Structure 1
Amino acid sequence: MKSLGYWLLLGLLRLLSALPYALVARAGNALGAALYKLPSHRRHVVLVNLRLCFPLKTEREREELALAHLQHVVRSYLERGFQWFGSLRTIERLVEMDSRIDLHDPHAPPTIFMGFHFVGIEVGCMLYSSRLPVAALYTRMSNTRVCELARRQRGRFGAAMIERSASAKQVVRLLRSGVPVMLAADMDHGTTGSVFAPLFGVPACTLTSVSRLAKLGGARVVPFVTEVLPAFRGYKLTIFDPLENFPTDSEALDACTMNAFLETQILRFPDQYYWVHRRFKHRPAGMPAVY
């Protein structure tokens, strides 16, 4: 059954890659709205996250935001079709890029591109990798075949895909050799290698890997965000200026800086952040579980 499920997934993604983007996006919106009406653990997680981060919103406002988010999430799953199997020309047509830094500067210092889990993160990374050399860290999935498929297709334009558990020395060697490294550090992967830093005033278990790798590799940290544009116009990848005074001698302070930047971006399009993740799964000692 697992093998059959894999081939069905593969066939569906290839089919979706051949359909018009707007049609797939509309289908994702409709399916997401239908699924939202069904009680589910994921909907519960979204609403808990929104209550924690936006306590001043009314319950109705949070419900509307949760609905819009689930529509974006389902859309992002269907849009994997053209992201993984569509042509480079299709991706270039759908994704615009705005960079505040010179991406072709031959004298640029080692660079960590720090991403965040907005629903469009994948397609932004793929566009960048089609234009410039980059290595990208990824987290292994439980399904081995799907994980290998994702790794292969995400790297099909030349990105070197490195498992997150790889040695820090490997990442540092890449940075020092001039290869930028893309990673995202805004998910709760447990308390090991993490500190608690506020996200909208809520203690969030935040990875310190960005800070540590920046120190070891002498790297600047450049945030990037991919947003879904309205009216089915595609996406926009924005590469920001490097974080100022980062890293410092304090991993806790660096985590606060990362989360503060993330807050500014969530407020721009709150329905696109990955609220289905249990961002507050781990809690400081003495604080009750929220999910």
Structure 2
Amino acid sequence: MKRLSLALIVALLRTLSVLPYKFVARLGIVIGTLLYALPGRRKHIVLVNLRLCFPEKTAHEHQQLAKAHFRHVVRSYLERGIQWFGSAQSIRDIVQIESRIDLDDESAPPTIFMGFHFVGIEVGCMLYSTRLPIASLYTRMSNAGLCELAKRQRGRFGAEMIERGSSAKRIVALLRSGKDVMLAADMDHGVDNSVFVPFFGVPACTLTAVSRLARLGRARVVPFVTEVLPDYEGYKLTIFEPLADFPSDSDEVDARRMNAFLEEQVVRFPEQYYWVHRRFKHRPPGMAPVY
């Protein structure tokens, strides 16, 4: 059954990859709207996250934001077709890039490209891998077959895929050799190697790996964000300036800065952040669970 399910997923994604991009995007919006009408665990998680992070909004505003988010999430799943099975040119056709650093500077120091879990993160990473060599961290999925498929397709333009937590030494060695690394550190992966720092005023279990890897790899940290453009015009990948004086001597200070930067981006297009994840899964001692 697992093999059959995987075969059906591959067939669906391959079909979606050859359909017009705007048709697939609109189809995702329609399906997302229908799914939001159904009760479900993910819908509950989204609403809890929105209530915690935006307490000033009304219940109606939370519902509207959650509905918009579901549309974006489902749309992003359908667009995996072109992202996983489309050509490099088909990805370039739907993603604009604005970089505030010179991506072709051969004298640039090793770089950690720090991303965040907006719905467009994957296509932004895929676009970058079509242009320049990169190593990219990924989180293993519970479905082994789907995980191997994602790993293979995400790395098909030459990106070196490294499982998160498998080998910090490998990542440091890559950075010291001059190869850039792309990662995201805005999910709750447990209290080990994490600190509790505010995210929209709520204590969030935040990884400190970016600071440590940057320090050991003698690398600069460059944030990037991929946003969905209006009117089905594709995506925009923005690569920002390197974070100044980063890493510092304090992992907690650095984690606070990461979350503060992320907050600035979330308020620009809050419906596109991955509220379906349990961002506050772990809580500081003495604080009640929220989900």
CA distance in 2, matches of 1:61, 1:9: 34
- Report whether the alignment pairs 1:28 with 2:36: no
Provide the C-alpha distance between the structure 1 equivalents of 2:38 and 2:175, rounded to a whole number of angstroms.
46
* Residue 248 (structure 1) aligns with: 248
Matched, 1:236 2:267: no
Any gaps of 5 or more consecutive residues in structure 1?
A: none
1:106 paired to 2:106: yes
For 1:232 and 1:52, the matched residues in 2 are separated by 30
Letter in 2 for 1:220: R
Q: What are the Cα deviations for residues 6-39 of structure 1, in whole angstroms up to 9, with x where unaligned?
A: 1100100000001001100101000000000100
Q: Following TM superposition, where does structure 1 have runs of at least 4 consecutive aligned residues deviating by more than 4 angstroms?
A: none
Deviation per residue, 1:55-103 (Å, 9 max, x gap): 0011111110000000000000000000000111111110010000011
Matched to 1:74, the amino acid is V
Equivalent position amino acid for 1:248 in 2: S
Describe the superposition over 1:113-144 as per-residue Cα deviations: whole angstroms up to 9, x where unpaired.
00000000000001001100100000111111
Which whole-Å CA distance do the structure 1 matches of 2:167 and 2:136 have between them?
A: 14
Counterparts of 1:1-291 in structure 2, within 5 Å, are 1-291=1-291
1:244-265: per-residue Cα shift (whole Å, max 9, x none)?
Answer: 1111111111100000000000
Root-mean-square deviation (Å): 0.5
Cα shift at 1:161: 0.4
In 2, the alpha carbon distance for the partners of 1:112 and 1:40 equals: 37
2:173 is paired with a residue of what secondary structure?
helix
TM-score (norm 2): 0.99
SS of the residue corresponding to residue 31 of structure 1 reads: helix
Q: Tell me the matched-pair count.
A: 291
How far does residue 220 in structure 1 lie from its aligned partner after superposition? 0.5
Q: Whole-Å Cα distance in 2 between the matches of residues 89 and 219 of structure 1? A: 30
In 2, Cα distance between equivalents of 1:185 and 1:166: 15
Normalising by structure 1, we get a TM-score of 0.99
SS at match of 1:236: strand
Letter in 2 for 1:103: L
Give the drift of 1:3.
Answer: 1.2
Distance 2:169 2:91 in 1: 33
SS in 2 for 1:205: strand
1:166 positional shift: 2.0
Looking at structure 2, the residues matched to 207 and 89 of structure 1 have their Cα atoms a distance apart, in angstroms, of 35
The percentage of counterpart residues that share the same residue type is 70
The letter of the residue matching 1:132 is: L
1:26 aligned counterpart, secondary structure = helix
Displacement of 1:49 in angstroms is: 0.1
**What amino acid does structure 2 have at the position aligned with 1:241?**
E
Return the alpha-carbon distance in structure 2 between the equivalents of residues 181 and 193 of structure 1. Answer: 19
